[in-house]
A and B are shown apart, each in its own frame.
Chain A
Amino acid sequence: NAGVTQTPKFRVLKTGQSMTLLCAQDMNHEYMYWYRQDPGMGLRLIHYSVGEGTTAKGEVPDGYNVSRLKKQNFLLGLESAAPSQTSVYFCASSYRTSGAYEQYFGPGTRLTVT
């Protein structure tokens, strides 16, 4: 039981390049989330999904797209990277059962855009 895994762990991009971050969970969770964490800003929600085939915008969605084609996977895409997207990205997942919404996080992806 690996929990939540993220690929890659580190990445350096040049401005304008694109990339996809992969999140996978083996806990059969319905909900999945993408956050970014920046110094002094805390964790901010980018996009989330309440089930396979559904996605929704979070607090800071601009410049990002997501897809959830399979229940266990949640992809975060950057179509044209900007230096402002330099950050640590975390994926999380949770159950949908009544009251139990604690989120379980992956190890993070450190992205640098030059």
Chain B
Amino acid sequence: EDQVTQSPEALRLQEGESSSLNCSYTVSGLRGLFWYRQDPGKGPEFLFTLYSAGEEKEKERLKATLTKKESFLHITAPKPEDSATYLCAVRYSGNTGKLIFGQGTTLQVKP
């Protein structure tokens, strides 16, 4: 069964304390892995797309990496404004762009 699992469910960090979020997946033929950020009361905001194992993408304090079984979102020296829920999704169907989402990791960064 196609599945996406994110861990941990919640993460509390002090400002400047680097860490990583995990997204593990089981799909038959990965066609793309996506990271989104969601702030409370808002829609998910697109961050990155990764297509093949070994690929890396960076944006400010965020860096996403991909292996054959999982993806990591590394947060370097986070700031309070990085507090949000981070969602991982995988594309699992031919030409329709359908995604399976994980349940998300809620990150809180304290000053």
Contacts and interface: CB of A to CB of B under 8 A. Distances in A.
Interface of A: 4, 31, 33, 40-45, 48, 50, 56, 58, 90, 92, 94, 96, 99-108
B96 A43 contact: no
Contacts of A50: 95-96
Given A96-B97, A107-B43, A102 B103 contact: no
Given A40-B103, A99-B51, A48 B43 contact: no
Nearest to A30: B97
B45 interface: yes
Interface in B45-65: 45-46, 49, 51
Contact of A101 (B32, B44, B102): B32
The SS class assigned to the A binding surface is: strand
Given A99-B32, A102-B34, A107 B99 contact: no
A108 B104 contact: no
A58 B103 contact: no
Max count, chain A CB within 10 A of own CB: residue among B31, B32, B44, B95:
B44
A43 B45 contact: no
B87 A43 contact: yes
Nearest to B48: A102
A40 to B, nearest CB: 7
A103 B97 contact: yes
B98 A106 contact: no
B97 A94 contact: yes
A29 to B, nearest CB: 10
Contacts of A105: 36, 43-46
Closest 9 pairs (CB-CB, A-B)? A105-B43, A101-B97, A43-B101, A42-B103, A105-B44, A42-B101, A102-B46, A94-B97, A107-B43
